A and B are shown apart, each in its own frame.
Chain A
Amino acid sequence: MTDQHLLAMHHSEVQVSVELETPDVTLNLGPQHPSTHGVLRLIAKVDGEVINEVEPVIGYMHRGYEKLAEVRTYPQIVALVSRIDWVSGYASEVPLMVAVERLMDIVPPDRAQYIRLVLTEMARISSHLVFLSSYPLELGAPTPLMHALRERERILDLIEMVTGGRFHPNFNRVGGVKPAAGAGSNQKKVVQDLPEGFLGQTLAAIQDVVGVCDDMEDLVLGNEIFLERTKGVGIIPVDKALAYGVSGPNLRASGVRFDIRKTDDYLPYDGFDFDIPAGENGDCFDRYWVRLQEIREASKIIRQAVETMPSGDLQAKVPRIIKVPKGEVYVRAENPKGEMGYHVVSEGGRGPYRLKIRSASFSNLSVLPWLLKGQLVPDIIAILGSLDFVLGDVDR
């Protein structure tokens, strides 16, 4: 209604809505709060239980990995990058190594690629299991946590069996995977190939993982209270998701069947048969469901890879001291949280001149202020949790 309109109306026609003016309360969620996954801070302006505005404050866990990488050699950086997203440490190592290999024009042997692929999918399963378990916790159900972590423990044990580390494997080397325990004459003979029983135990473990997925459907996904809390809550439409750079399962939950495993060739995924699950509405429920399905797909990939594991070397021929020729390359990978990319700029030294890290959680989190506007306080947590971010991945 324009001003002229208002003036033209008779006084009796002007409707005045009398509402009690209430100032918004500023509610600080975090940096110390049970549900902010570490040290995220949300400054929410709330009117009762309704959120009018929310401003995420990040950087409480900034460790400066991009800067650290500039003064370290490539083998040292491998040990660092698994700490970016510690829930799926192994998956963060692979794209960096692929980037260095592309700059050096090295192709890792098949067996190394398959081991990378199996461990990456295991990292995906363990990361998604953490989400499947912690998300109900944020809605108030503590039991799924223990059930999913029970099986995640087996996956972590398998990763540890091969690499020696549960969260930070540091198992990738330029040109393949870690070939031997050391450089000495004896340790050189201690080959770090898959230990005996690994393939069999993997098959048994992924069977249990699929079993716990069924349990999660019983315990969480089919639960009417869970449906009430998640269906239609926190909808990210496709255009918003794309505009904010949302990637990974969050993007697929909005209905976009985009998976870097299918489009890029950083690992030999083209030889495997797997689907890309996609949601319909892009709400919290779909984000949960997509990750549940992705565990099943990852189990399928692991089973195929274990059955067709090629034999051969663990590492291609590489010089003793890794020196990367001048050039730059961007390699991205489908990490559990979304697109993880490394832009390596080399000036020909033993370490990068610049390493730009594109982490999934940071971009996924950027949709938050838009997404939380007008929601209720309990839904902050429901939506926040459904984006499945790790603060280390946000702040780096």
Chain B
Amino acid sequence: MALRVSKVPGIGLMKGMWLTLRTLFKRPVTINYPKEKEIPVPRARGVIALDTEACTVCMLCARECPDWCIYIEGHKELQPPSKPGGRPRSRATLDRFDIDYALCMYCGICVEVCPFDALFWSPEYEYSEGSISAMLHDKERLTDWLATVPAPPPLEKN
């Protein structure tokens, strides 16, 4: 734990200058953003994708959301009976599924509580907008994100 501080005055200044000079000739580590892009890790919480087929309008996500940024509306629809002669089934249909990303705090609780695999995390991050109202993604926009959902990463073996 000895401190590598020199007793000779000026050496400390020289060491610092040597370090900055060395760094001057090294390759920069920053990424030249719009031209090059970092590839986010598969688990990165970038944006939430919605699978409308799987959603049953159970409202669990909207209820568990800590800042209530999910807006869901739905109605019951009668489906043709599965067996001929049977009773027509009633099925919940999604009318509105909006996530307000201006409010969302990216905790992921909605994805976790969804019992029907309708919500997924996508690592996409480029959806900034000029106006705050445009941060409200409707269900079409959320469905578009579905294509960007990556496969889960392989796990460490131990």
Complex: chain B residue closest to A167, CB-CB: B106
Would you give the shortest CB distance from B33 to chain A, in whole angstroms? Answer: 14
Is B133 an interface residue when CB atoms closer than 8 A count as contact?
no
How many angstroms between the C-alpha atoms of A268 and B114 in the bound complex?
Answer: 33
Complex: chain B residue closest to A173, CB-CB: B112
Interface of B, helix, strand, loop or mixed by DSSP: loop
Question: Interface residues of B, CB < 8 Å — how many?
Answer: 49
Is B6 an interface residue when CB atoms closer than 8 A count as contact?
yes
Q: Are B117 and A186 in contact, CB atoms less than 8 angstroms apart?
A: yes
Complex: chain B residue closest to A297, CB-CB: B1
Q: Which of B11-19, B81-89, B94-102, B140-148 contacts A (4 or more CB under 8 A)?
A: B11-19
Q: Are B10 and A217 in contact, CB atoms less than 8 angstroms apart?
A: no
Q: Are B156 and A194 in contact, CB atoms less than 8 angstroms apart?
A: yes
Is B59 an interface residue when CB atoms closer than 8 A count as contact?
no
Question: Interface residues of A, CB < 8 Å — how many?
Answer: 58
Taken residue by residue from 280 to 319, chain A's Cβ proximity to chain B (1 for < 8 Å, 0 otherwise) reads as: 0000000001000100000000000000010100000000
Q: Are A79 and B66 in contact, CB atoms less than 8 angstroms apart?
A: yes
Taken residue by residue from 55 to 77, chain A's Cβ proximity to chain B (1 for < 8 Å, 0 otherwise) reads as: 00000000000000000110110
How many angstroms between the C-alpha atoms of A157 and B114 in the bound complex?
Answer: 27
Q: Are B64 and A75 in contact, CB atoms less than 8 angstroms apart?
A: yes
Q: Are B154 and A162 in contact, CB atoms less than 8 angstroms apart?
A: no
Q: Are B5 and A222 in contact, CB atoms less than 8 angstroms apart?
A: yes
How many angstroms between the C-alpha atoms of A191 and B112 in the bound complex?
Answer: 12
Q: Which residues of A contact B130 (CB under 8 A)?
A: none
Q: Which of A25-33, A196-204, A234-242, A256-264 contacts B (4 or more CB under 8 A)?
A: A196-204
Residue from B3, B44, B64, B115 within 8 A of A184 (CB atoms)? B115
Q: Which residues of B contact A223 (CB under 8 A)?
A: 12-13, 15-16
Q: Are A218 and B16 in contact, CB atoms less than 8 angstroms apart?
A: yes
Central interface residue in A162, A182, A215, by most chain B CB within 10 Å: A182
How many angstroms between the C-alpha atoms of A55 and B66 in the bound complex?
Answer: 36
Q: Are A199 and B156 in contact, CB atoms less than 8 angstroms apart?
A: yes
Is B137 an interface residue when CB atoms closer than 8 A count as contact?
no
Would you give the shortest CB distance from B116 to chain A, in whole angstroms? Answer: 5
Q: Which residues of B contact A218 (CB under 8 A)?
A: 4, 15-16, 18-19
Q: Are B152 and A181 in contact, CB atoms less than 8 angstroms apart?
A: yes
Q: Are A181 and B109 in contact, CB atoms less than 8 angstroms apart?
A: no
Q: Which residues of A contact B152 (CB under 8 A)?
A: 181, 190
Taken residue by residue from 99 to 136, chain B's Cβ proximity to chain A (1 for < 8 Å, 0 otherwise) reads as: 00000011111011111111111000000000000000
Count A-B contacts at CB 8 Å.
137
Q: Are B156 and A161 in contact, CB atoms less than 8 angstroms apart?
A: no
Q: Which A163-194 residues have C-beta < 8 A from chain B?
A: 163-165, 168, 170, 178, 180-187, 190-194
Q: Are A222 and B114 in contact, CB atoms less than 8 angstroms apart?
A: no
Would you give the shortest CB distance from A66 to chain B, in whole angstroms? Answer: 15
Q: Which residues of B contact A227 (CB under 8 A)?
A: 5, 12
Known: A181-B111, A182-B114, A186-B117. A217 touches B5 (CB 8 A): yes
Q: Which A142-174 residues have C-beta < 8 A from chain B?
A: 143, 147, 150, 157, 160-165, 168, 170
Would you give the shortest CB distance from A163 to chain B, in whole angstroms? Answer: 7
Residue from A161, A184, A221 within 8 A of B43 (CB atoms)? A161
Is A267 an interface residue when CB atoms closer than 8 A count as contact?
no
Is A214 an interface residue when CB atoms closer than 8 A count as contact?
yes
Q: Are A198 and B41 in contact, CB atoms less than 8 angstroms apart?
A: no
Is A1 an interface residue when CB atoms closer than 8 A count as contact?
no
Is B35 an interface residue when CB atoms closer than 8 A count as contact?
no
Complex: chain B residue closest to A144, CB-CB: B16
Is A18 an interface residue when CB atoms closer than 8 A count as contact?
no
Is A104 an interface residue when CB atoms closer than 8 A count as contact?
no
Q: Which residues of A contact B19 (CB under 8 A)?
A: 215, 218-219
Q: Which residues of A contact B23 (CB under 8 A)?
A: 147
Q: Are A162 and B20 in contact, CB atoms less than 8 angstroms apart?
A: no
Known: A157-B41, A161-B43, A222-B15. A182 touches B112 (CB 8 A): yes
Complex: chain A residue closest to B123, CB-CB: A164
How many angstroms between the C-alpha atoms of A289 and B107 in the bound complex?
Answer: 35
Is B9 an interface residue when CB atoms closer than 8 A count as contact?
yes
Known: A195-B153, A222-B11. A183 touches B112 (CB 8 A): yes
Q: Which residues of B contact A165 (CB under 8 A)?
A: 45, 106, 108
Is A275 an interface residue when CB atoms closer than 8 A count as contact?
yes
10 A-B residue pairings within 8 Å (CB atoms):
A161-B153, A164-B45, A183-B112, A183-B115, A185-B117, A218-B15, A219-B19, A221-B3, A222-B5, A222-B11
B residues apposed to A, CB below 8 Å? 1, 3-6, 9-13, 15-16, 18-20, 23, 29, 40-45, 54, 64, 66, 105-109, 111-121, 152-158
**Supplied contacts A147-B23, A195-B41, A223-B15, 18 more A-B pairs, CB within 8 Å:** A75-B109, A76-B107, A78-B107, A79-B105, A160-B40, A160-B43, A160-B44, A182-B113, A182-B114, A184-B115, A192-B43, A196-B157, A197-B156, A199-B158, A222-B15, A223-B16, A226-B12, A309-B158
A residues apposed to B, CB below 8 Å? 72-73, 75-76, 78-80, 83, 143, 147, 150, 157, 160-165, 168, 170, 178, 180-187, 190-199, 214-215, 217-227, 275, 277, 289, 293, 309, 311
